[in-house]
Amino acid sequence: MIANPQLQIVKVGGSLLSSPETPDRFRLWLNSQTDHQNILIAGGGARVDAVRARYQAGQLNECESHWQAINSMSDNARRLQEWLDVPMLERIEAVHICSTRNLVFDVEPWMRSRNDFPISWSFTSDSIAAALATHLKATCLTLLKSCLPPSDSESLYELSQTTYVDQHFHRYASPLAFVRMIDLTT
């Protein structure tokens, strides 16, 4: 796979999806990203929080809850697609042949085709975005969140020791040339 110097993976935090201000803020931010082809993935947000509660109540095992969380990301991807009226891709191979500047990627089919990712609550949409960016040899990974990272986290590893991202994030994000976190609420 040849690196695309203009490819950016943008993970839209699930917590942002429940805010009525997010669609306008997101469109404004995305319109400023003219130097990139933006592959957008959605976090799980409140839908995943509900799955986690069912898991903690003993109603789901870890594998069931993992796949329900991934399915919630797919539901949120459709929501992102509706906000933006852009194409949604479900096949990883299609990313390199699609010339649209902005598109939404549904991670569920890609995740189901892989058996090398943890099936655990310790592997979240942030690491999925980082793994996708690494797989596609993206130039940039951007995490849009509802807050900034802790100011005392100087490395990806240190950041992975906080609750801002999951404990696997540094492993998947380390090969990337550029990783940034943006508070979309400000």
The tens digit of pLDDT for each residue in 141-171 reads 999 999 999 888 889 999 999 989 999 999 9
Mean pLDDT of the chain, nearest integer: 91
- Which CATH homologous superfamily contains domain 4-183? Acetylglutamate kinase-like (3.40.1160.10)
pLDDT at 1: 36
- CB atoms under 10 Å from CB of 153, counted, come to 16
Q: pLDDT per residue over 49-105, tens digit each?
A: 999 999 999 999 999 999 999 999 999 999 999 988 899 998 888 877 777 889 999
120-146 b/e with 16+ CB inside 10 Å = b? ebebbbbbbbbbbbbbbbbbbbbbbbb
Question: Domain segments of the chain: what residues?
Answer: 4-183
Q: In sequence order, what are the residues at sequence separation of 6 or more whose Cβ sits closer than 8 angstroms to the Cβ of residue 58? A: none
Per the listing, tokens 């609420």 go with 185
Rounded Cα gap, residues 125 and 132, in angstroms: 10
Rounded Cα gap, residues 86 and 105, in angstroms: 10
Q: 24: left (phi > 0), else alpha (psi -120 to 50), else beta?
A: alpha
Provide the whole-model pTM. 0.92
14 pLDDT more than 80: yes
pLDDT at 3: 42
